[in-house]
Structure 1
Amino acid sequence: MRTRTIGSQDAARQVSAICLGALPFGTTVGEEESFAILDRFVAAGGNFIDTANNYAFWTPGGRGGESEALLGRWLAARGRPEVVLATKLGAQPTVPGTGLETAEGLGADTVRAAARASLERLGVERIDLLYTHIEDRSVPMEETMGALADLVDEGAVGLLGASNHATWRLEHARALAAASGRPGYDVLQYRYSYLQPRYDVPFPEAGHTHASSELLDFAQVHGLPVLAYSALLSGAYTRPEKPLSPPYDHPGTPARLAALDEVAKEAGATRNQVVIAWLLGHDPQVLPLVGASSVAQLDEVLDAVDLELTADQRARLDAAR
């Protein structure tokens, strides 16, 4: 398994270049299959696992916290393997049956309480990487960043990350951290894949924010890794019954898919594997965050780690419009 470095100086961690998304574990993927997927990932050299405190409140019977709780049971059952755990807070609904309109937000008291609840569900003493899942513009950035920095200083959190924030707010947070000499965001997580969406058409999934060219430029300038969620578009690259989301309905998509098919045929690989290989070779650094609902799906992703695109293949993929 290839590795990447996240964080810097004493807080730096070596992680697998593929991050395993645990979103469906404990809800749409049962415990036995979830444990099998996690075991296979670790056996293949994977050590980077991503979840959130609100996964997966929108599923039938889901309330949020199911994924973290399952990971806690797996860690305990496997003798606490050496993995890097990332979770998120801020987007858990406060009213059962509602969505992000009642999200808990990023007030200082909420941040502290949510982090403590995640630690308890995961059964760990420290969260390796804690993201703010969505923005909360009702709370001063100073308050949120101060509460997060306190968690790092206390040893409850290792690294801080941000997901689905406007780039200008990331710069505000960076400037605050620099001025105070306290911890700031070291990792970013955004929706990103080979197919590019129209930015004037919203995603049907509430809260999803695609990595813009400005965001990627910000990440490159400041040396921040970007975790790419929805990297395989929930199966839409390879499964006919999974239509592409409306933002991808534009003239550039057929050209990108044609280039993808051409390279996949040359490489003897699947569309998914070429997408993963394209992301792994991305500049600035991108780490694919990939979910799996079966060991077979995970194996397809793992096989892509060793796929090396030629310079010509990457150029053709990049040029397709």
Structure 2
Amino acid sequence: MATEITIVLGALAFGTRVDEAQSVDLLDQYTELGGEWIDTANNYSWWMHPSGLGGQSEAIIGRWLGKRPGMRERVKLSTKAGAEPTVPNGYPEHVEGLSAAALRAALGKSLDLLQTERVDLYWAHIEDRSVPLEETVEALGGFVADNRVGRLGASNHPAWRVERARMLAAERGLTGYTAMQLRWSYLQPMPGVALPQSGHVHASAETFDYVGATGQWLWAYNTMLDGGYTRPDRPLPEAYAHPGTARRLAALDEVAAELGATRNQVVLAWLAGGPIPVAPIVGVTTAAQVSEALGAKALRLTPDQRAKLDAAG
């Protein structure tokens, strides 16, 4: 029997666009339906909060865990550091970065907000080339050594920087990165056309070659393209305005009809069930979105269906 795919709950909007009561309901629903991983970051969501600073999502998750005895043993927490503004609305000119001091402060605050002694996956959220990579590697490796972090990942980093960091960690006898988090979905943007979210780094063929060769765990964000697959009020960004998009959407509709599934569910199954499995993060704001996403866990594409989806474009 095939192993169920991993669908990660994206908690970016919790505490800002989604109020606390609804956030708690969504967390309860996700775990009741068998969800395991919750993804957040220490800077979520500074751009939606009057303070111009983050921490709202982590705080709500922490309060939820504090009111659910035994839940911390059931769920796995993923959070990130490096992109929190140091002054209100200061991104990207004024962010904490990846120095040892900044990372120590960020992890301590995240653990306090999440009301836990340990996070299962800790990410360097963005690159920081102003800090020697050795310094970042040693700080992050120390978090694993003192058991405050289970494993490490790099978000929005190129593969060569991840590999260089892994080599530095190995030379020092430290735990290095074992996961990458990048933007990825079934529809593909045109090369060279800017995405509306300037901080997003898109996966590539090189990414998949690298993670396949090294055994990295690839997580994907913006998998639903902000509702672009299903919502007329959420048109796809200009980067996706090319003939390949129409061909891919036609193939997606054909496979969805065959399976009796939604476009979004087929996208999630395609992401998670490929030759190099991807853990898709699904940012949710409604109960229907949680049900739809978790409904994709048992969805399996036949070889012919996957070939049809892969060939379109």
TM tier, shorter chain? over 0.9
Q: Report whether the alignment pairs 1:180 with 2:172.
A: yes
Percent pairwise identity: 54
Preserved CA contact (<8 Å) 1:167 1:215? yes
How far is 1:283 from its partner?
2.1
Instruction: Give the structure 2 partner of residue 27 of structure 1.
Output: 16
Matched, 1:102 2:100: no
Normalised by the length of structure 1, the TM-score is 0.93
Match of 1:77, as an amino acid? K
Which residue is equivalent to 2:37? 48
The one-letter amino acid paired with 2:225 is L
Q: TM-score, normalised by structure 2?
A: 0.96
Provide the residue aligned with 1:77 in structure 2: 67
Separation of aligned partners in 2, 1:178 and 1:265: 48
Q: Secondary structure at the match of 2:180?
A: strand
SS of aligned partner of 2:152: strand
Within 5 Å, give how 1:186-225 maps onto structure 2. 186-225=178-217
Q: Which of 243, 255, 258 is residue 263 of structure 1 equivalent to? A: 255
Q: Indicate conservation of the 8 Å contact 1:100/1:206, yes or no.
A: no
1:307 correspondence with 2:299: yes
Q: CA deviation at 1:311?
A: 1.0
Compute the RMSD of aligned alpha carbons: 1.3
Instruction: Report the residue type matching 2:65 in the other structure.
Output: L
Contact 1:51 1:88 in 2 (8 A): yes
1:166 maps to what in 2?
158
Question: Which of residues 58, 69, 75 is equivalent to 2:47?
Answer: 58
Is the contact made by 1:92 and 1:100 (CA closer than 8 Å) also made in structure 2?
no
- Tell me, in whole angstroms, the C-alpha distance in 2 between the residues paired with 1:285 and 1:250: 27
What letter corresponds to residue 276 of structure 2 in structure 1?
Answer: P
Determine helix, strand or coil for the equivalent of 2:84. coil
Q: Which residue is equivalent to 2:110?
A: 118
Structure 2: stretches of 5+ with no match in the other structure: none
Instruction: Write out the 4+ residue segments of structure 1 that deviate beyond 6 Å after TM superposition.
Output: none
Q: Equivalents in 2 of 1:60, 1:286: separation in Å?
A: 31
Cα separation, partners in 2 of 1:3 and 1:107, compared to 1, 3 Å: farther
Q: How far apart in 1 are the matches of 2:304 and 2:32? A: 33
Shift of 1:97: 2.1
Question: Does 18-27 or 172-181 show the bigger shift?
Answer: 172-181
Pick closer, same or farther for the CA change 1:56–1:3 going to 2, 3 Å. farther
Q: Distance in 2 between matches of 1:317 and 1:257?
A: 9
- For residue 141 of structure 2, give the secondary structure of its aligned residue in structure 1: helix
Are residue 239 (structure 1) and residue 228 (structure 2) matched? no
Contact 1:107 1:139 in 2 (8 A): yes
Q: What is the CA–CA distance in structure 2 between the aligned matches of 1:168 and 1:261, rounded to whole Å?
A: 37
Task: Structure 1: state its 5+ residue gaps.
Answer: 5-15
* Cα-to-partner distance string for 1:206-241 (whole Å, 9 max, x where unaligned): 311111111111111011111111111111100000
SS of the residue aligned with 1:101?
A: coil
The residue that corresponds to 1:153 in the other structure is 145
Q: 1:17 aligns with which of 6, 31, 56?
A: 6
The whole-number CA distance in structure 2 between the counterparts of 1:56 and 1:320 is 36
The answer to whether the 8 Å contact 2:53/2:87 transfers is no
Give the Å deviation of 1:197: 1.3
Matches of 2:108 and 2:192, distance apart in 1: 38
CA positional deviation for 1:149: 0.7
* AA at the equivalent of 1:63: L
The answer (yes or no) to whether the contact 1:160–1:187 under 8 Å persists in 2 is yes
More off after superposition, 229-238 vs 245-254? 245-254
Mapped to 2, the partners of 1:186 and 1:257 lie a distance apart of: 33
Q: For this pair of structures, how many residues does the alignment match?
A: 309
| CA apart distance, 1:251 | 2.0
Between the aligned partners of 1:128 and 1:302, the Cα distance in structure 2 is 21
Deviation of 1:294 after TM superposition, in Å, equals 0.9
User: Deviations along 1:80-103, whole A, 9 cap, x unmatched?
Assistant: 412110000000011202222212
